[in-house]
Structure 1
Amino acid sequence: MQIVYDPRQKGHDPQHFLVRGQPKANPETPERVDILLAALQAGGHPVSTPEEHGAGPRAAVHSPDYLRFLATIADRWQALPDAGAEVLPNVHPPMRDGGYPRSPVGQAGYHMADTACPIAAGTWEAVCASANTAVDAAARLLGGAADAVYALCRPPGHHAFADMAGGFCYLNNSAIAAQYLRRSAARVAILDIDVHHGNGTQGIFYARRDVLTLSIHADPADYYPFFWGYEAERGTGEGLGFNMNLPLPVGSGDAEVAAALDRALERMAAYAPEILVVALGLDASRDDPLKGMTVTPAGFQDLGRRIGSLTCPVLAVQEGGYVSASLGENLAAFLTGFEAARA
């Protein structure tokens, strides 16, 4: 499996995170990358830097207003009187089909779903580098350079909608990669195994049939993102039946996730995707600080083995997975299982 990573991603270093009304350190830190890179190095995986693919791939998924907001808001925020170091919303619209505010404060509320995605001076360059990493990995698959690529993307992306950030996510790396793959592939599937539902990914493709979206995650009735990810959400219009959610009770472990994956793979087999994008969250780990599931390293190896057994090309895009004693071990376990199945 080829590995792609851009060191510019470390320029994003968010500080703010609100937990039950208490300000905490944001867990989406640059240290995550150091741990994952160390695991790749220990496993003998060479890491290459992506080529530049320009603004087109992200513009194919995200709205012009939103991209302008992300590119300019840090500077415009700092020009406000008595502004904080990071862009944080303090108001959200009750509906999003009305007027569009000129104020940076109003635009922050319009384009940011929560307070978990603060924006500072280094954010825009880092999120563009993260998205470009996913695009470069997709280009390698389309060019025949590999049949499996891992894109080490950070910040993650699967909570980002076409025009809204949320949950540590700004640009939807998995969706951008899937849209890029559609240049040559008639049918693409996105399998999300992050502990959180990929609500942004679902929203982007919800009315489409050319990208099948499947998500295994902790039940949103009890866990973030709360308002999306229920089993009854199946798509709309032409996309009806092309979205599948598999919510599991909080605390679920290896056996429950494996059983849900069996259901997802059965649906995916009927769809017969030409290429699979895996939104690879490692935050379902029993050691993850967000405490949603209890998957072990052996469980991640089994997930890798099952996914690696598929015959189609696979692009794994890093999503969640936060600093813990087993973060690097979980990535290594997934890759070991995947590569053993492809051997």
Structure 2
Amino acid sequence: MKAYYADEQKRHDPKAFLSSGAPQPNPEQPERAVRLLAGAIAAGCTIERPADLGLAPMAAVHTPEYLEFLQNIHARWRRIPDASEEVIPNIHPLARNGAYPASAVGQAGYHMADTACPISAETWRSVCWSAWSAAAAADAVMAGDRVAYALCRPPGHHAFADVAGGFCFVNNSAVAAQRLRRRADRVAILDVDLHHGNGTQGIFYARPDVLTVSIHADPVRFYPFFWGHADERGEGPGLGYNLNLPLPRKTADEGFLAALEAGLRRIRAFAPDALVVALGLDAFEGDPFGGLSVTTEGFSRIAAAIAGLGLPSVIVQEGGYLCDELSDNLTAFLTGWSG
């Protein structure tokens, strides 16, 4: 299996975020990329560097207003007297259908859902290489590979078309899906991260050409709280093209696999030409977020079940945070897929 990754992805190094109002070290650390890379190599992946593909892959799913913001906000922010080193919002609009603010502070609140995705001078560069890794993996699959892995860091599935959030800036899974749409009439996205892929859902919510399925910890008491509930089915032309399968906290392998089978049935009914797997390893029983209880062996079984669809597939890395087993969990998933 080919794996796409660029070392520039480690340059984004966020320092903190607020958890229940208290500053905490940001868990989306560059070390994640180091351990994930080791896991991909242990699985026998051939590591390839993506090409610089410019803005086009990102502009296919994000607004130009938002991409301009991401490129320029840090330099603008640092011109504010006594501003923080990283861009962190301190005000948010109650509604987003009114005037667009001219100030850096106002735009940060408009385009950033929470405090978990601070922007430094290096963030944009890392974000680009992360997105280009997803696009390169999609291109490989369109060129004939049955499966490719994109080691995307920072992750992406909480990013909407014009909003960052939850450690995410550009939605890499959406980038891959839209890239696949150049050859595939219908694409399914299956998100197996601990957290609901709210940004991915939002980008495709009114579209019938991309089916979105997410298996995640029940958001009634878990991030992202406001999205990911079972009654969210899509809207307009997309009604019936979104499926959420929320799970009780601490659900382990068998419960996760049962939900996965329901998701796979929906994907088969959609009859897609290609698949994107938004791979979160934070459903692991020992992940710092502690939401679900999937085992290392469970990831192997999850991968084998998804691979059974027999679809050309792009595996896009989402969550999975620093614990001793992070590398092993990725290796288990990738070998489970090909084994």
Q: TM-score scaled by structure 2? A: 0.99
Asked if residue 95 in structure 1 is aligned to residue 95 in structure 2, the reply is: yes
Asked if residue 107 in structure 1 is aligned to residue 121 in structure 2, the reply is: no
Q: Which whole-Å CA distance do the structure 1 matches of 2:302 and 2:41 have between them?
A: 21
Shift of 1:7: 0.8
**Partner in structure 1 of residue 294 of structure 2:** 295
Shift of 1:304: 0.9
Asked if residue 14 in structure 1 is aligned to residue 14 in structure 2, the reply is: yes
Q: Which whole-Å CA distance do the structure 2 matches of 1:174 and 1:223 have between them?
A: 22
Tell whether the 8 Å contact from 1:18 to 1:24 is kept in structure 2 after alignment: yes
Asked if residue 182 in structure 1 is aligned to residue 181 in structure 2, the reply is: yes
**Other structure's SS at 1:257 match:** helix
Deviation string for 1:26-74 (max 9, x for gaps)?
0000000111112222333221101222211111110111000000001
Name the aligned partner's letter for residue 111 of structure 1: H
Tell whether the 8 Å contact from 1:222 to 1:250 is kept in structure 2 after alignment: no
Which deviates the most, 218-227 or 11-20? 11-20
Q: Which whole-Å CA distance do the structure 2 matches of 1:233 and 1:41 have between them?
A: 38
Shift of 1:250: 1.1
Q: Which whole-Å CA distance do the structure 2 matches of 1:90 and 1:43 have between them?
A: 43
Q: Which whole-Å CA distance do the structure 2 matches of 1:42 and 1:231 have between them?
A: 37
Q: Which whole-Å CA distance do the structure 1 matches of 2:302 and 2:218 have between them?
A: 19
**Other structure's SS at 1:277 match:** strand
**Partner in structure 1 of residue 34 of structure 2:** 34
Q: Which whole-Å CA distance do the structure 1 matches of 2:81 and 2:271 have between them?
A: 55
Q: Which whole-Å CA distance do the structure 2 matches of 1:169 and 1:41 have between them?
A: 25
Shift of 1:149: 0.1
**Partner in structure 1 of residue 69 of structure 2:** 69
Shift of 1:311: 1.3
The equivalences for 1:132-143 within 5 A come to 132-143=132-143
Identity %: 58
Tell whether the 8 Å contact from 2:212 to 2:241 is kept in structure 1 after alignment: yes
Q: Which whole-Å CA distance do the structure 2 matches of 1:45 and 1:204 have between them?
A: 30
Shift of 1:16: 1.5
Name the aligned partner's letter for residue 314 of structure 2: L
Structure 1 residue ranges (4+ consecutive) displaced by more than 6 angstroms after TM superposition: none
Shift of 1:308: 1.5
Q: Which whole-Å CA distance do the structure 1 matches of 2:40 and 2:210 have between them?
A: 30
Q: Which whole-Å CA distance do the structure 2 matches of 1:44 and 1:204 have between them?
A: 33
Structural RMSD (CA): 0.7
Deviation string for 1:259-280 (max 9, x for gaps)?
0000000011010110000000
**Partner in structure 2 of residue 229 of structure 1:** 228
Tell whether the 8 Å contact from 2:40 to 2:334 is kept in structure 1 after alignment: no
Q: TM-score scaled by structure 1? A: 0.98
